[in-house]
Copies of this chain bind each other. A is one copy, B any other.
Amino acid sequence: MYEEKVGEEGLQDFYQEKDKMYVATDCIIFGFDSGNLKLLIFKRRVEPFKGEWSLIGSFVKLQEDVSGAAKRVLEEITGLKNVFMEELKSYGNANRDPGYRCVSIGQYALIRLSEYDKELVEEHGAVWHDIDELPKLVLDHDQMVQDALEKLKAKARFQPIGFELLPEKFTIPQLQSLYEAIYQKELDTRNFRKKVLSNNVLIKLDEKDKSSSKRGAFLYKFDHDSYKNLTKRGYDFEIS
């Protein structure tokens, strides 16, 4: 598809002295479990940077979209499709990779720890690390993680993306614990509950989760349809 254009008049002139470079994508993959935000990283088994910790990424191929490359990587390592993933920003400093010139598009993803393929992850040497106990990562990957955390913090407040980190069915205390991990501060139980429920996008189920208390807490589901309808009418979700 691209090669055949080489012969065209004009185009060839235009492009011929331009520089080509590698384009990569790196995934900042978040999970949440027992009160902690987690990040999926792996120890590189080949050069360059063999033995060092790194985000999971890939070069973008000529025939694939940048976002497609990120989805491919994510599926290869977790077995998951249709995961929440969004562009973070690009990393394009000329000297960011001492090997070759490479521009990387950072993408952050939110994963349910209950759903991914554990064997696949292990095969790739990938490990979930608590977000506040990360080792040094290669290149500018530390910066990417920092940037992704800030974006998550800012975005989770006004858009219901936090639910992507919880199981389909979750309790209000779990949800609160998640937001406390994202915001890095404690929240008032009563106000949190009030605020969350006032958004009218949670469906209360008849089941209870007894895994963390004797009394048990009611399970809820996020109501995607209701959320869509409400946003159409110019409603604003918020959890603070």
In the complex, which range does the number of interface residues on chain A fall in?
A: 35 or more
Binds B, one of A84-92, A110-118, A196-204: A84-92
Partner of A103, one of B5, B13, B47, B66: B66
Given A22-B15, A46-B14 in contact, is the A100-B5 Cβ separation under 8 Å?
yes
Whether the pair B47, A65 counts as a contact (CB closer than 8 A) is no
Q: Chain B residues with Cβ under 8 A from A67's Cβ?
A: 92
Contact code string A3-35 (vs B, CB < 8 Å = 1, else 0): 001000011011100111111000000000000
Query: Could you list 10 A-B pairs, sorted by A, with CB under 8 Å?
Result: A10-B47, A11-B48, A15-B99, A15-B100, A19-B59, A20-B21, A20-B22, A60-B92, A67-B92, A90-B105
Within A25-54, which residues are at the interface with B (CB < 8 Å)? Answer: 46-48
Chain B residues in 8 Å Cβ range of A99: 5, 11, 14-15
Let me know if B105 and A92 touch, CB within 8 A.
yes
User: A100 to chain B: which residues have CB within 8 Å?
Assistant: 2, 5, 11, 15
Additional A-B contacts beyond A62-B94, A92-B105 (14; CB < 8 A): A2-B100, A2-B101, A5-B99, A10-B47, A13-B47, A14-B46, A14-B48, A15-B100, A18-B22, A19-B60, A20-B22, A23-B103, A62-B101, A66-B103
Q: How far is the CA of A65 from the CA of B92 in the complex (A)?
A: 6
Q: How far is the CA of A67 from the CA of B95 in the complex (A)?
A: 13
Within 8 A of B (CB), among A139-172: none
Given A2-B100, A5-B99, A18 contacting B59 (CB threshold 8 A): yes
**A23 to chain B: closest CB distance in Å?**
5
Asked if A21 contacts B60 (CB within 8 A), the reply is: yes
Among B2, B62, B92, the residue within 8 A (CB) of A23 is: B92
Cα separation A172 to B44 with both chains bound (whole Å): 56
Interface residues of A in 52-100 (CB under 8 A from B): 59-68, 87, 89-90, 92-95, 98-100
